[in-house]
Every structure is written in C-alpha cells, then in structure tokens.
C-alpha cells in the first residue's frame, strides 16, 4: 500500500471541497463522488439521494454498512427585500458568531452568484450591541443586487446556499483548511478506500458504502439507508471536535482529541463496545496511529445514534476525524489523520 495519498486522490479532495452541498441539496457532492468512483464499483441512488457503492451484482442485506454524510451546514433563501437583500434560514448549525462577513455561494445552476453575510457596522452599533451574539434575523445576504426584480432574475425563494469554497493546505502540508470538512473529509476517505480495495481486488460483496444525505438536520439519510440494508454491523465516519486549542485548556467534560493523533474510536452508548474494541485491536495489530474518544456527549449528534436502534438493532462503531473550528466557515483537519483512517478501515475490511 502507498504510504501517502496520490496526486489523483488529492485532486479529488480539492474537487470535493469545492462543491456546495447544504442539507437537502447534496447533488454536487454526490456527483463528484460518482464520477471519481465510476468504473471501480457499482453505484446506485435511492429516492432521498443517498449514494450506495458496492461490488456485487446487487446490494446485499444483513451485511456491513459504512457511512459518511455528504451534506454540509448551509442555508436556504426565505425572503428577498425590495432593496434586493436576501434573508435565509439555517440548515444545520453553522456558528452564528462566525457568520458576519462570511462569503457565500448559491448551489446548483446559479453557483456563480457570490454574496456575503452583512450586518450593521460596529461604528454605528450601540456598545451593548457589540457584545451580543448577533441574531439570525439581524443578518442578511448581500449579492450586490440593486432591487428585488434584479435579485429575482438570478435567485429564487427556496434556493440553497453554502459557504463559498475556500480550501487550502497549511504550509507544512500536514493539514487542510476549508469550509465543509464536516463531512467532506470523511467522504473523501471512504471514496479513496473504495478505489483502493477495488484495485486490490479485495472488495467484499457483503460491504456497502453509503454516502448519506441530510445528516445535519436529523440523520435522515442514514435512517433510510439502514432500513434498506438492514445491516448487522455499521461503521459511521464523521468528524469530531478537536480539543487541542487554547480555549479548551482545563475542559474536563471532553476527552483529549488532537489533530495528528489519528482517527478517534468513540466509546459511548451510541456505539457497541465490543465492535469498538475490535477496531482498536486492528489498529494496535497493524501499528496504526489512533486515539480513544468519548465524543462530545453520551448520545446523539452522529449517525450511529439513529442507526444503532433501527429495526432490531445494529452493532455500531463511530470513527471520527479530529476537526478544529467545526461548524464555522473555515475548519481544519489533518491529512495524516485521514490517511491513518484509510489504513484502519482497509485493515478492517481485509479481516471481514
């Protein structure tokens, strides 16, 4: 196995991070994955938009499911004023403190439209207002339209909007900074795994990879996929809150979880302990850098919380990629952690 990502794989990561895929409009991200994987495996969509990748003639039930959600936190147009300003509602929990000044892009056919979250300048705010977290109703999106008619010639009520692409590698190339690393970094990892195991001719027919939709608004795609596949085991790949930042010093309610520390194996009620320990043993046996984590709360917040209790129950494990500044306009993840996650899951698949 290579000891690093290939040029083709990194190019795909950049392509993935350039997509705008807010919850409910994941088509750009799904199409990028479909194009990358085409010819390596069979691919199929369901009615909600989940993308399935598998190796046999058909998708098998009662097997193993690996998921990564492909939606990102974003917005949807709700109102346009006479002056051409656009108001939106949130799809998922983008940090309101990071919203003012954020550059935005309309998803789909109008993705050439670039706007910015506007607010009242601090120069004319009251002192009491400067210290407050700004409310959603006091933010608008400014695309530079002169009036409502001009706005409506380019944008419609209900259009989806995301943070504009902004990815770049850090100077040492060990980390990547971008919007939407939650959860495009995981979609990248699963896509690389699929390509590699296909080239190694070790893609078991009882494993189905699912790129799920609408996680940020209730793990809706994962619920549909679980009911379709009825898996006996499921691994969910997502980002987790990195705690190696100054403001987390002394935080005792979260376990230590650091960039470059390897993928996190989550020990929490949402995950079946024997399954997590099986993954931990594989990591130890293969010398793969990893870390144990408790997640940011005992239950909820990831797809395992829904998958585990669907049907008669599913044995679940959650693998998380450390992510700094989650749900902001600029997140950070480690390329080393991404590669070690590829190693871990390929090692797991080779032992199925």
Position 250 scores a pLDDT of 65
Region 301-319 average pLDDT: 95
pLDDT over 60 at 3, yes or no: no
Contact 213, 70 (CB under 8 A): yes
Q: pLDDT-based confidence at 138, cuts 50/70/90?
A: confident
pLDDT over 60 at 159, yes or no: yes
Position 1 scores a pLDDT of 35
Question: pLDDT tens digits, residue range 139-156?
Answer: 999 999 999 999 999 999
Position 131 scores a pLDDT of 72
Position 53 scores a pLDDT of 98
- 195 dihedral zone (left: phi>0; alpha: psi -120 to 50; beta): alpha
DSSP 86-123: EEEEEES---GGG-TT-EEEE-GGGTT-EEEEE---GG
Question: pLDDT tens digits, residue range 58-83?
Answer: 999 999 999 999 999 999 999 999 99
How large a percentage of the chain has pLDDT more than 70? 97
Position 156 scores a pLDDT of 94
Contact 319, 235 (CB under 8 A): yes
Per 3-state DSSP, the chain is made up of helix, strand and coil in percentages (nearest 5) of 30, 25, 45
Question: pLDDT tens digits, residue range 177-205?
Answer: 999 999 999 999 999 999 999 999 989 99
Q: pLDDT-based confidence at 297, cuts 50/70/90?
A: confident
Would you state the structure tokens that stand for residue 273, as one six-digit string? 């302990």
Contact 26, 50 (CB under 8 A): no
- 94 dihedral zone (left: phi>0; alpha: psi -120 to 50; beta): beta
pLDDT over 70 at 214, yes or no: yes
pLDDT over 80 at 133, yes or no: no
Question: pLDDT tens digits, residue range 249-289?
Answer: 766 677 889 999 999 999 999 999 999 999 999 999 999 99
Position 99 scores a pLDDT of 86
Least confident span in 91-95, 113-117, 134-138, 258-262: 134-138
pLDDT over 70 at 2, yes or no: no
Average pLDDT, the chain: 93
Position 130 scores a pLDDT of 67
Q: What is the CA radius of gyration of the chain?
A: 21
pLDDT over 90 at 312, yes or no: yes
Cα–Cα separations (whole angstroms), residue 324 to 134, 246, 288: 22, 11, 22
Q: End-to-end CA distance of the chain, in Å?
A: 18
């Amino acid at each position: 196995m290579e000891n690093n990502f290939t040029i083709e794989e990194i190019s795909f990561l950049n392509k993935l991070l350039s997509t705008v895929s807010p919850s409910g409009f994941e088509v750009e991200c799904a199409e990028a994955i479909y194009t990358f994987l085409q010819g390596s495996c069979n691919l199929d969509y369901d009615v909600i938009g989940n993308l399935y990748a598998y190796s046999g003639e058909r998708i098998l039930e009662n097997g193993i499911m690996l998921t990564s959600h492909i939606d990102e936190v974003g917005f949807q147009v709700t109102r346009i004023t006479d002056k051409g300003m656009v108001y939106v509602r949130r799809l998922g929990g983008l940090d309101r403190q990071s919203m003012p000044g954020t550059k935005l892009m309309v998803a789909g056919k109008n993705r050439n439209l670039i706007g910015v979250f506007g607010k009242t300048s601090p120069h004319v705010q009251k002192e009491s207002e400067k210290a407050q977290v700004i409310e959603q109703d006091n933010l608008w999106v400014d695309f530079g339209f002169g009036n409502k008619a001009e706005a409506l010639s380019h944008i419609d009520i209900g259009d989806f909007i995301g943070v504009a692409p902004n990815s770049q590698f850090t100077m040492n190339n060990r980390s990547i900074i971008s919007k939407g690393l939650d959860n495009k970094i995981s979609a990248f990892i699963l896509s690389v795994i699929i390509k590699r195991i296909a080239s190694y001719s070790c893609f078991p027919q009882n494993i189905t990879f699912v790129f799920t939709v609408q996680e940020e608004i209730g793990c809706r795609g994962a619920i549909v996929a679980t009911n379709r596949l009825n898996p006996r085991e499921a691994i969910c790949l997502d980002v987790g809150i990195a705690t190696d930042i100054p403001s987390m010093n002394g935080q005792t309610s979260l376990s230590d979880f650091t960039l470059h520390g390897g993928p996190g194996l989550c020990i929490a009620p949402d995950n079946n302990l024997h399954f997590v320990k099986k993954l931990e043993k594989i990591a130890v046996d293969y010398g793969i850098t990893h870390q144990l984590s408790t997640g940011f709360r005992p239950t909820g917040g990831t797809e395992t919380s829904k998958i585990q209790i669907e049907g008669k129950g599913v044995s679940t494990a959650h693998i998380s990629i450390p992510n700094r500044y989650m749900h902001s306009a600029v997140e950070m993840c480690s390329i080393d952690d991404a590669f070690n996650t590829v190693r871990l899951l390929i090692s797991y698949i080779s032992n199925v």
